[in-house]
Amino acid sequence: MESTEDFGMKAIPIGEVIGADLTKSGRSRRIYIASSWKNASLIRAVAHVLRNRGHEVFDFTDPENRVAGIDNFVFRASEWPGKTLDEIDWLEFLEYEPTKRAFKTDKSGLDWANTVLMLLPCGRNAHLEAGYGAGRGKDLFILGDLPIGQYETMYLFAEGCYRAKDFRKLLDRLLLTKLQAEASV
């Protein structure tokens, strides 16, 4: 993959590092990406750009690049034995051991992070992750596009909301809000 352009975002070459070396300056963020499995390619592209900018990233789709100390378990509901997704009862699903392990892994990632980035469109799970993060005092940012007529009041919990085409503005904002937080200490 060469850039994020394939996902409707303004093209940012994956190899390009925009801005300062955040790792050396101590300004890097620990970012949990909340989204849908349907966005797996986008999640990986965004994670790659964020890592190139010096941030650490928890990407639930990519066990090979998992944060040290956090289980690299990846569970897909489609792997449920003997049933299709349409046949799984929600309470039965919560009792399934791989579901519990996936919850523990994702919660560990959320607890580790200081920032949650929710990529739209996404479902209930990602919205719960974003709400949990915001409730725990983590910076929340939302990136993506929704059709006209779809909106959420509670998106106002976010430090910032960005359309996909404004990905570069989000990258700049991730650095800016970190610098402002350091200046106020």
Question: Across the chain, what does the average pLDDT equal?
Answer: 82
Greater confidence (108 vs 64) lies with 108
What pLDDT score was predicted for residue 177? Answer: 62
If pLDDT is split at 50, 70 and 90, which confidence band does 67 have?
confident
Residue 71 pLDDT > 80, yes or no?
no
For the chain, percent of residues with pLDDT exceeding 70: 78
Rounded CA gap, 102 and 138, in Å? 21
Domains of the chain, start order: 23-67+112-183 (3.40.50.280)
Range of weakest confidence among 117-126, 130-139, 175-184: 175-184
Contacts 24+ apart (CB under 8 A), 85-91: none
Contacts 24+ apart (CB under 8 A), 175-179: 175/19, 175/20, 175/22, 175/27, 175/53, 177/139, 178/27, 178/29, 179/27
